[in-house]
């Protein structure tokens, strides 16, 4: 389902799909697929898009008509890549994972030093 209200609001601000994609940190083709309704736009993305376009979410949001399909469990055992859905990971989860990675790096460093002492 093409997002006509979103497209109109973007054009009203004289922004290209490339401009929007850059500001949303996604590729132009990914943004284009969102406008065409090929990829679901998450609530978080709607908020960011509305802010970029200086609009209220209700002014630009159009609901998707997606049904969720688990392509990994279909009967034929094949995987249909064209049915991929992409979701943004919430910022707090990314921060938590980055913190955990830093802890693991420190632990690896400590263990390497310990190995050197015994070698």
Q: How far is CA 91 from the centre of its chain?
A: 11
109, two tokens: 């460093």
pTM of full prediction above 0.95: no
Mean pLDDT on 69-80: 47
Per-residue confidence band for 95, with pLDDT thresholds at 50, 70 and 90: confident
Cα–Cα distance, 105 to 10 (Å, whole number): 43
Q: In the CATH hierarchy, which top-level class contains the domain 1-65?
A: mainly alpha
The pLDDT of 35-60, averaged and rounded, is 92
At which residue do the structure tokens 């400590």 appear? Answer: 110
Q: What is the mean pLDDT of the chain?
A: 83
Q: Where are the domains of the chain?
A: 1-65, 89-119
DSSP three-state, residue 89: coil
Percentage with pLDDT > 90 across the chain? 60
């Amino acid at each position: 389902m093409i997002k006509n209200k979103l497209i109109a609001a973007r054009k009203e601000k004289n922004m290209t799909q490339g401009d929007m994609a850059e500001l949303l940190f996604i590729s132009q083709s990914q943004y284009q697929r969102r406008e065409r309704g090929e990829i679901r736009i998450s609530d978080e993305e709607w908020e960011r898009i509305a802010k970029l376009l200086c609009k209220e979410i209700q002014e630009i949001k159009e609901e998707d008509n997606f049904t969720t399909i688990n392509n990994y469990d279909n009967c034929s055992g094949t995987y249909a890549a064209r049915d991929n859905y992409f979701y943004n990971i919430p910022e707090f989860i990314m921060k938590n994972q980055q913190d955990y990675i830093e802890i693991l790096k420190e632990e690896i460093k400590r263990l390497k030093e310990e190995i050197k002492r015994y070698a």
